[in-house]
Amino acid sequence: MEYVNPEGLRLDGRRFNEMRQIVAEVGVVSKADGSAVFEMGNTKVIAAVYGPREIQNKSLQKKNDHALVLCEYSMAQFSTGDRRRQKFDRRSTELSLVIRQTMEACILTELLPHSQIDIFLQVLQADGGTRSACINAATLALADAGIPMRDLAVSCSAGYLNSTPLLDLNYVEDSAGGADVTVGILPKLDKVTLLQMDAKLPMETFETVFALASEGCKAIAERIREVLQENTKQLEYRRAA
């Protein structure tokens, strides 16, 4: 199948280095301490953060003087075309772990001893790149909850199809069988916190794909910063007496 036509356009009309439209909003769950909705094209994720709060289950606590970060990823039954049966399958367990590790790397857990932070993520619509969308949503929600972080962790995926590196794969491109590289970075500190690839790529190709994904991450970080800046400004000018 042709994923990139001779004019250089992809199936949904994007160019190779173009991302889908991003819509982000903070404070969507009124009961949660922090929450956000993050949309990338047709992928839509809602995140809710509770905490830092008293540890509910002491047995999960490993390091006494660090905060415990827990993450739960799930896909809504209606998120894909065909009905999903299990709520917690192996895929979501793996994703929960990946997201938890990424977020744990950017939260300053040593500042919050004896407490736990719960991150709940639900995919409302799945169209490829749910992993990245979840990380971005979680970052927004954590920042909204006022949890101290090293940097905003952002993530973006890139792939390689028809000898072209492609940014931000959608579901059709994702299931084409090519390599799918998900990159998570801390843009300010210039560090990589997540790198996953589910196929093989030659070294040189990998580097171009990785560079493309990092560029995507930086663009997303810009967008996330704008949303947070706007939110903080609003809160401040409303409060100021």
Output 84 or 225, the one with its CB closest to another protein.
225
Q: Which residues contact 209 (CB under 8 A, 6 or more apart)?
A: 158, 159, 160, 165, 179, 181, 201
Q: Which residues contact 57 (CB under 8 A, 6 or more apart)?
A: none
Find the shortest distance in angstroms from Cβ 134 to another protein: 18
Length of the chain: 241
Output 95 or 219, the one with its CB closest to another protein.
219
Find the shortest distance in angstroms from Cβ 25 to another protein: 9
DSSP characters over 81-106 = SSPP--SS-HHHHHHHHHHHHHHHHH
Output 146 or 177, the one with its CB closest to another protein.
146
CA 93 to chain centre: 16
Bond from prior residue into 6 cis (ω within 30 degrees of 0): no
Find the shortest distance in angstroms from Cβ 99 to another protein: 18
Find the shortest distance in angstroms from Cβ 30 to another protein: 5
Find the shortest distance in angstroms from Cβ 241 to another protein: 5
Cα within 13 Å of Cα(173), Cβ side:
27
Residue 135 to residue 100: CA distance in whole angstroms: 9
Find the shortest distance in angstroms from Cβ 197 to another protein: 27
Output 43 or 231, the one with its CB closest to another protein.
231
- Strand partners of residue 183: 156, 195
Output 79 or 231, the one with its CB closest to another protein.
231
Output 82 or 236, the one with its CB closest to another protein.
236
Torsion, Cα of 212, 176, 130, 180 (10° steps): -40
Residue 63 to residue 39: CA distance in whole angstroms: 35
Find the shortest distance in angstroms from Cβ 101 to another protein: 19
Output 77 or 229, the one with its CB closest to another protein.
229
Residues binding another protein (CB under 8 A): 26-28, 30-31, 33-34, 51-54, 65, 108, 112-115, 143-152, 186-189, 225, 228-229, 231-241
Longest dimension (CA), the chain: 62
Residue 178 to residue 168: CA distance in whole angstroms: 13
